Amino acid sequence: MRHDHLITSKQLSRADIETVLDHAAEIDADRSAVADKYSDRLLGLLFFEPSTRTKLSFETAMKRLGGDVIDMGSVDSSSVTKGESLADTIRVIEGYADALVLRHPKQGAATMASEFVDVPLVNAGDGAGHHPTQTMLDLYTIRENAGLDDLTIGIMGDLKYGRTVHSLAYALTKFDAQQHFISPDSLALPREVVYDLHQEGASIREHDGLEEVLPSLDVLYVTRIQRERFPDENEYQKVAGEYQIGPDSLSSASDDLTIMHPLPRVDEIAPEVDDTEYAAYFEQAHNGVPVRMALLDLLLGDSDD
């Protein structure tokens, strides 16, 4: 796989995805071959929105490759507060680093930023748009637990604003997957995403309840209601607390069901589920390190590697 920038999972072929997942599995089994590979390289972290997993797993990944990171820090401590544009900020930091990771609240920000830089830029989440590296670790976790072909997956919660959902849904069109989307009407998948999925020949269905599909699922991917994206707090309150998963709601699930969540969670999955065989969400978060090591190796490596 060689791409200058990673902005959306739409740009990835099945072969690209499998290259990343296979390389991540190699690194997961033995990371000694890449431990010092990038000792002279720096990764620039630009997070205009909060993050725990994405930021820290990119930092861990780069350091485990022998490299280091420079971090813009919080927006409040940067010159963004003086009115500096994203285009200027990114052009400056490009001169300090060998690759950039950008998270921004505005959908499309990563696409725009990528037009100003020559070093590889990775979209770490652009508003309600995309989060392709989350998708890579999601696919890695699905492949480890359920396999990626002949897969029946339920994707539940905030499908409107949930960028991890959009990226995952597009990527799953490259595999033999039946996708069931479960949400209240007000948080259904954007119609343009549904249209695109149909155009890609995806097998999809939409539901307003989990009960009818739960017994058929190999994977249940639960998401947080993205409170920060609602233009009106009253609208958030109408759907807050819907679609919670607890031990009682799983009585009709297959014994082999895998429950995933990109995290952070609020109250979508009860803590009692954490100790069941279903729960894979902490494993999923940990998979962020080998997957991002693999991605960075493929983005930073020489083309003849």
Residues identified as active-site: 53-54, 82, 103, 131
Query: Which residue lies nearer to ligand CP by CB, 263 or 270?
Result: 263
DSSP output for 75-117: GGGSGGGGT--HHHHHHHHHTT-SEEEEEESSTTHHHHHHTT-
Is 51 a binder of ligand CP (CB under 6 A)? yes
Q: For residue 104, what are the β-bridge partners?
A: 126
- Closest separation between CB of residue 299 and ligand CP, Å? 19
Nearest residue to 45 via CA among 34, 31, 27, 61: 61
Which of 41, 53, 63, 207 lies at the binding interface for ligand CP (CB under 6 A)? 53
Q: What single-letter DSSP state applies at residue 160?
A: T
Is residue 263 at the binding interface for ligand CP, with CB under 6 A as the rule? Answer: yes
Among 52, 79, 85, 276, binds ligand CP (CB under 6 A): 52
Residue 91: which of 119, 68, 58, 70 has the closest Cα? Answer: 119
- Residue 271: C-alpha distances to residues 72, 157, 244, 263 (Å): 34, 17, 11, 13
Of 28-36, 51-59, 199-207, 208-216: span binding ligand CP (CB under 6 A): 51-59
Does 54 interact with ligand CP (rule: CB under 6 A)?
yes
Nearer to ligand CP, 67 or 262 (CB): 262
Give the nearest distance from C-beta 134 to ligand CP in angstroms. 5
Q: Report the alpha-carbon distance of residue 22 to residue 220 in Å, rounded.
A: 23
For residue 265, state whether it binds ligand CP (rule: CB under 6 A). no
Q: Does 133 bind ligand CP (CB under 6 A)?
A: no
Q: Is 283 in the site for ligand CP (CB under 6 A)?
A: no
Provide, rounded to whole angstroms, the least separation between the CB of residue 50 and ligand CP: 7
Q: Return all residues near 112 (Cβ < 8 A) that are at least 6 apart.
A: 86, 87
Binding site for ligand CP (CB under 6 A): 51-54, 125, 134, 262-264
